[in-house]
Structure 1
Amino acid sequence: MLVERRMMVTNKVLRALENTEMSVFAQDCDLRYVWVCNAGRSWLAGAEAGMADSDLLASQSAERSTAMKREVIRTQRPAHFELAIASGSSVRWYGVRIDADHDDAGEVCGVIGTSVEITEQKRREETLKTLLRELSHRSKNLLAIIQSLASQTARHSVTVPEFLVRFRGRIQSLAYSQDIVTDADWRGADLMSLVTMQVERYAPDGMAQIAVESPDVYLSPTASLHVGLALHELAVNAASYGSLSVPGGTVAIGARLEPREGEETLILDWQERNGPRVRPERDARFGTSTLERIVPNAVGGEASLEYSSDGLRYTLMIPQEQYEINSRSSAIGA
């Protein structure tokens, strides 16, 4: 009766095992396979009684597997290791767990073990490692930008309160641009979203004072942060002293593609109109170093800032590797 019950339980366990990706095996003390159950399409699929790991695995994997199993027989302690099996142009991974097997007298008679495919788990782990490396790289870049902004802001601030106001504004600008980049899975940010996020809140009448004509262009993550910062500097200045500080003042933001030195370059223009008459002298506190040095250097381009009498104009040239084109025409605003 007890034997029959054990057989029934064994049969049910084997049936349940068939619905999993787990293979179960046993080897004798010479590490010859005695039996394999539910091998499926795993690395154990070709295993037959009397075979060894050297008959199933590449030499290096076979040596490692055999060494692990001999150690289990010697110490009678369970062990776990991973196997990488070449499958065409890809690699399949298996998690193998082994323990000492004992006969009815309690003597070690070999090993018993399981093998489960963990390829998807390994892929997820590798993807996570890649994402963490990318996050670390971007975090270092962002910290470098913040350090540069802190130095530049401090250099041109007369008082601590003035420094705090300007520095907080610039950090907030970076945060806004970073949100757009993150929402796009770090692909970057489209120029229209940057304009809306960075400029609109400084215009009393919102986008009614801002005209944008641009290709549907996606900026790289680096260009997104720095172009967003440039737009912030220009918008703050326009709201304080320029065309966004008076009724009827407008800003025209244009982007166009031009061939330069054998490649297409994105030319970004900021033009203020109907504002107060622009003074030829520069306010040292205005972020000229950000606009003329930090931003163009970061994107590998060039920039110019003009104080013409009809309104401030800023031009930024962005090289091809810092953007991609979705569509060649798009326009919003007045």
Structure 2
Amino acid sequence: MTSSIPTREPDRRDASRLRALLRAIRNSNVCVLYQTCDLGYLWAENLPGIWADAWHVGVHDHEFMQDAMATELVAAKRSVLETGEQQSVEIAVPDGNQLRWFELSIDCDRDDAETIIGVVTTAVDVTELKRREQVLKTLLREVSHRSKNLLAIIQSIAMQTARFTGTVDDFLFKFRGRVQSLSYSQDLVTDSNWRGAQLHELVRSQMQKYIDVSDRRFTLSGDDPYIFPSAALHIGLAIHELIVNSTSYGALSNGEGTVAISGKLENIGTDRMSLRIKWDEKVPGALKEPDLNGRFGSAVLERIVPISVNGTSTYTLEHDGVTYSLDVPRSQFDL
């Protein structure tokens, strides 16, 4: 007959498992708290610093938490004790000038006879997640706002285009070109993380579809500030109108005309500081079609764009060229 020798291997495994679990908790943003059935705290593991000074064995929620928060927690814990069903609560705890957010999972502890003997609360710090959610909500609101602005611009373009075209084919041709102009400007704005677009880059993006920007007939000079997003879309649209008509009727429709675009900061250092964008087009001989309304949407250049940037514009059409000047206030650009 052989005698069996008791083994303590299960106890060793349990102890090892407990040490590993405690180490994992301490290395995480998770806190575990245990309360007896009278809701007095018995122990806590990985307690956040904001509670550490006030917490001690036997303390109750109302003694170290704000009243409203403690009332909510106590109600949830009593429900767990009465029903045995797990509860979830989210709380915001003041931490200096900020808030720390915790998601609490509250469950009951049972003995071998399945009798409820305590309450276990697992608190997960979700502050960073909350902050990311707030940032995302802010970005979504901004995207919604900008989308509505863009749709309003497109609607205005459609109305003005229809007003100055006589056929469906002519409308579609001009409308597509103007929407594509918006897309070029929008790409620059998006690439800059919504800061805007630099003036020279904005001009080149509109010109490159119609002319090589290194062409001797075209020059771009002067100051190069950042144009804020909404203004960039409208200024890009103005440049589009000017270049399309220049390649169709004006200086760039032949080998001799020239177009010079410049930016100049005026009244620097004063509250009247502004940016003057100038288009100066020279055509040897005469323009093919001197009638303004017949050539392109004057409303875009003389009304829609200036109003949209809170600025002013002047347009001069002569037999040998076109001059367009747009004054943009300081509120629409950054140096």
**Does the aligned pair in 1 maintain the 2:80–2:108 contact within 8 Å?**
yes
1:234 and 2:242 aligned: yes
| RMSD after superposition | 1.9
Partner in structure 2 of residue 301 of structure 1: 311
**Does the aligned pair in 2 maintain the 1:200–1:206 contact within 8 Å?**
no
Partner in structure 2 of residue 256 of structure 1: 264
- Which of the residues 52, 61, 66 maps onto 1:53? 61
Distance in structure 2 (CA, Å) of the matches to 1:25 and 1:185 = 44
Distance in structure 1 (CA, Å) of the matches to 2:222 and 2:324 = 15
- Which of the residues 268, 281, 293 maps onto 2:277? 268
- 1:228, CA displacement in angstroms? 0.4
- Which of the residues 77, 84, 89 maps onto 2:97? 89
Distance in structure 2 (CA, Å) of the matches to 1:205 and 1:247 = 15
- 1:143, CA displacement in angstroms? 0.5
Partner in structure 1 of residue 141 of structure 2: 133
**Does the aligned pair in 2 maintain the 1:204–1:244 contact within 8 Å?**
no
- 1:118, CA displacement in angstroms? 1.2
Residues 77/310 of structure 1: CA separation in 2 closer, same or farther (3 Å cut): same
Instruction: Identify unmatched segments of 5+ residues in structure 2.
Output: 1-7
Equivalent residues in 2 for 1:158-173, closer than 5 Å? 158-173=166-181
Distance in structure 2 (CA, Å) of the matches to 1:196 and 1:300 = 23
Kindly tell me the number of residue pairs found equivalent between the two proteins.
Answer: 325
**Does the aligned pair in 1 maintain the 2:224–2:263 contact within 8 Å?**
no
Instruction: Identify unmatched segments of 5+ residues in structure 1.
Output: 326-334
Partner in structure 2 of residue 321 of structure 1: 331
- 1:306, CA displacement in angstroms? 0.4
1:175 and 2:183 aligned: yes
1:32 and 2:62 aligned: no
Larger Rg: 2
Partner in structure 2 of residue 331 of structure 1: none
Residues 285/150 of structure 1: CA separation in 2 closer, same or farther (3 Å cut): farther
- 1:85, CA displacement in angstroms? 1.3
**Does the aligned pair in 2 maintain the 1:265–1:320 contact within 8 Å?**
yes
Q: Deviations over 1:139-176 (max 9, x none)?
A: 00000001111111111111110000000000000001
Which one scores higher on RCO, CA 8 angstroms, separation ≥ 6? 1
- Which of the residues 105, 114, 117 maps onto 1:109? 117
- 1:64, CA displacement in angstroms? 1.6
Amino acid at match of 1:304: T
Question: How high is the TM-score relative to the length of structure 2?
Answer: 0.91
1:143 and 2:146 aligned: no
- Which of the residues 272, 278, 286 maps onto 2:296? 286
Distance in structure 1 (CA, Å) of the matches to 2:296 and 2:48 = 70
Q: Deviations over 1:93-147 (max 9, x none)?
A: 1121111111232111221021121111111110100000000000000000011
Distance in structure 2 (CA, Å) of the matches to 1:205 and 1:115 = 61
